[in-house]
Structure 1
């Protein structure tokens, strides 16, 4: 390892350790590397701008953010919740199932775990806490666990970022996330059923079956969002970025004209908030692109691939080792940083070992989502604590069972690649 790289890594960990935002820490550390190597600081700006402006795919990120914020506005969340209560609220632990099903549905609109937890998640937590139906800590924990589904079922901002660094098919990644997302929903519902029977959590008053068609029709236009996205991409009608634009436009039509739940003032606020979120993601992406330039300059991916090749590890051992590392890193780093900075280091080895990049990518994204609820720095735990006021210690006390079942689902995806690859291959993916 060169002196310049040591200075870069040391300054990065120091700045992050004293609380500097990760994006700024990466930018400053990159400048230190470039300066120590005797190169022009302008290289930092050039790589940042080239990486962002030359990637048409990256336009999908702000568009998905806009679509999610629009779908969060008005009465759409309420309509989706009424549909979920009507379908699964009648079973033991009813509102827990409603919580998970709402995340499954909302994930087809937002692509963001934080948007899910802070938006529709807060509404469900308030419902679960009413009349002491569920303990506050349990309501918060199951909301955090179910919010991890958001970026797994398409659309998915983390999968867009993974496609950026790996050149994997974004359409195959989106399709590959559907069955894992449903699997996670199923295991979380199983855990909720078990805990509800053990603790005596109740059921909701059953909604008469004759009302189910009306509630389904009420929510149906919102439920069409993921179908429109996948048909556009896999039907050859749109590129992934154009599909994101269609999703944002469809969300706007739905909220403003069909449901009449969005005013001009509300739309302006949505655009402001979306611009802020996009800028925050853009800073991390820019910093990661510069750091990736440094990593490539030091030839680290090829050195790592050569070292792992000498160890003669099997693909499954490699997958397990990488996922253990990602689970540990997920305790301290956010998903965007892991996907953009850490995961590219392992892609050459994946190619050498014959590991399908779509399988690896979906598993890595699921792993990063588990990191969002892993103490001590799981961001979803802090988001729910901030929007509900439920003490962090109560949330952490209840999260461990959900963490364990999510790790079991992750292992299933690792050992049985068809869980990820069945739908992409069915649609013609050749990986």
Structure 2
């Protein structure tokens, strides 16, 4: 009865459009009130969920992304992507994907990437003759590589929950993220040829070299983060501070995209964004504690293992479950609630934890662009000034492409494990 009340309240909140964090908090409070449990456990478990050294990565990477974005790096990345692929049919769409793959090394979050790249690319694509719904769909789909190519906020959350190496997970996401980008570029090219979308003119290797000089600093930032963590020079949390300092110096002195007077606004914006994420972690931890006390994760694990102990069928079942959950639940909340029990199932049937973490995060990233609640769809549709229905129809070719990559990564472990095994003997 109480479990029904918990999930019923949560479902009603989602239907009413309540923010996911508030929905988790309200559902938890209703359950605790019904069970006669003192509500003082709410702040206790919220703090327990937020009291993690690894979680300090989030403010650092969010601040670094905002500093680089405020410093004009987004425009430079787009110009570099356009210089490389702009002369091919559908070149601006391809540049959109390339830009997202480069920007992934800065933001670590898909929504930030959608807003940053979309504000530049969607108007440019519409002006060049692309359909608005196609431009919006490309932007939303390409943004999902952000939390897969390092750094990645969801992978930081996974490391917090399980103690898995964040450095290994960062490396594990690199090749799958690139594969997703290549797959989406192929999709863009096929659709562009079919619809006769425009192509630009090749401006020579000199132009590529000139634009690469600006984008170089963004690419170098990813290298600094990965080299520092993998080389043991600093922890992921220290890496986020280094990246923020690096972004400040580059944005202020190299790109000169902002002045010192703009710093307070950037800090406030970063604090609000980071605070929302950390608050969500805390509220999701309360919800997760309730589920654990009701032994729901154990029931999910037992049900899966009762159906089959075949590793490949378990991978299929986990993928289906996470794809469904990703359509209506925010990524971090879904990770906190479902990742630990599913990891236990995965390990029991012989799936490597780092491999599992990689395809679990990809699953939930795909959910960000899956109707009806894909957050990136709302952001992209708002920039393009189109309806959710229009972008929902246009996103399907990219969803199919990303799901194909997901299953490739799921069933070929070395795609995600090759780099970690290379650097971590």
- Please name the residue that 1:160 is paired with: 156
- Please name the residue that 1:175 is paired with: 171
User: How many angstroms apart in 2 are the aligned matches of 1:150 and 1:294?
Assistant: 31
Asked if the contact 1:166–1:357 (Cα under 8 Å) also holds between the matched residues in 2, the reply is no
Distance change (3 Å), C-alpha of 1:25 and 1:218: closer
1:212 Cα offset (Å): 2.5
User: How many angstroms apart in 1 are the aligned matches of 2:297 and 2:128?
Assistant: 55
Which deviates the most, 40-49 or 391-400?
Answer: 391-400
User: How many angstroms apart in 2 are the aligned matches of 1:199 and 1:311?
Assistant: 46
Aligned residues: 425
- Please name the residue that 1:59 is paired with: 56
Q: Is the aligned partner of 1:282 residue 2:287?
A: no
Q: Is the aligned partner of 1:17 residue 2:15?
A: yes
1:210 Cα offset (Å): 2.3
Residue by residue over 1:378-403, the C-alpha shift from the partner in whole angstroms, topping out at 9 and shown as x without a partner, is 11111012223133333222111111
- Please name the residue that 1:385 is paired with: 381
User: How many angstroms apart in 1 are the aligned matches of 2:192 and 2:250?
Assistant: 36
1:59 Cα offset (Å): 0.6
Q: Secondary structure at the match of 1:224?
A: helix
1:25 Cα offset (Å): 2.2
Q: Is the aligned partner of 1:68 residue 2:50?
A: no
- Please name the residue that 1:336 is paired with: 332
Residue by residue over 1:16-67, the C-alpha shift from the partner in whole angstroms, topping out at 9 and shown as x without a partner, is 33333221222222233333434322111111112212x1001111111111
How do residues 297-376 of structure 1 correspond to structure 2 at under 5 angstroms? Answer: 297-376=293-372
1:313 Cα offset (Å): 2.5
Q: Secondary structure at the match of 1:138?
A: helix
Distance change (3 Å), C-alpha of 1:137 and 1:18: closer
Q: Secondary structure at the match of 1:148?
A: helix
Q: Is the aligned partner of 1:127 residue 2:124?
A: yes
Q: Secondary structure at the match of 2:290?
A: helix
Q: Which runs of 4+ in 1 moved over 6 A?
A: none
Q: Is the aligned partner of 1:44 residue 2:30?
A: no
1:93 Cα offset (Å): 1.4
Asked if the contact 1:8–1:33 (Cα under 8 Å) also holds between the matched residues in 2, the reply is yes
Q: Is the aligned partner of 1:99 residue 2:96?
A: yes
User: How many angstroms apart in 1 are the aligned matches of 2:32 and 2:133?
Assistant: 47
- Please name the residue that 1:6 is paired with: 4
- Please name the residue that 1:143 is paired with: 139
How do residues 195-234 of structure 1 correspond to structure 2 at under 5 angstroms? Answer: 195-234=191-230
User: How well do the aligned residues superpose, as a CA RMSD in angstroms?
Assistant: 1.6
Residue by residue over 1:186-237, the C-alpha shift from the partner in whole angstroms, topping out at 9 and shown as x without a partner, is 1111111111221222211212222332222232122101100101110000
- Please name the residue that 2:390 is paired with: 394
User: How many angstroms apart in 2 are the aligned matches of 1:339 and 1:313?
Assistant: 23
Asked if the contact 1:301–1:348 (Cα under 8 Å) also holds between the matched residues in 2, the reply is no
Asked if the contact 2:6–2:28 (Cα under 8 Å) also holds between the matched residues in 1, the reply is yes
User: How many angstroms apart in 2 are the aligned matches of 1:60 and 1:344?
Assistant: 21
1:259 Cα offset (Å): 1.8
Give 2:79's match in structure 1, choosing from 70, 77, 82: 82
1:7 Cα offset (Å): 2.9
- Please name the residue that 1:416 is paired with: 412
User: How many angstroms apart in 2 are the aligned matches of 1:181 and 1:257?
Assistant: 31
1:159 Cα offset (Å): 1.0
Q: Is the aligned partner of 1:272 residue 2:253?
A: no
1:283 Cα offset (Å): 2.0
Q: Secondary structure at the match of 1:355?
A: coil
Give 2:184's match in structure 1, choosing from 185, 188, 195: 188
Residue by residue over 1:260-296, the C-alpha shift from the partner in whole angstroms, topping out at 9 and shown as x without a partner, is 2211332211111111111211221011111222222
TM-score with structure 2 length normalisation?
0.96
Asked if the contact 1:72–1:120 (Cα under 8 Å) also holds between the matched residues in 2, the reply is no
Asked if the contact 1:176–1:422 (Cα under 8 Å) also holds between the matched residues in 2, the reply is yes
Distance change (3 Å), C-alpha of 1:85 and 1:304: closer
1:424 Cα offset (Å): 0.8
Q: Is the aligned partner of 1:241 residue 2:237?
A: yes
User: How many angstroms apart in 2 are the aligned matches of 1:338 and 1:229?
Assistant: 26
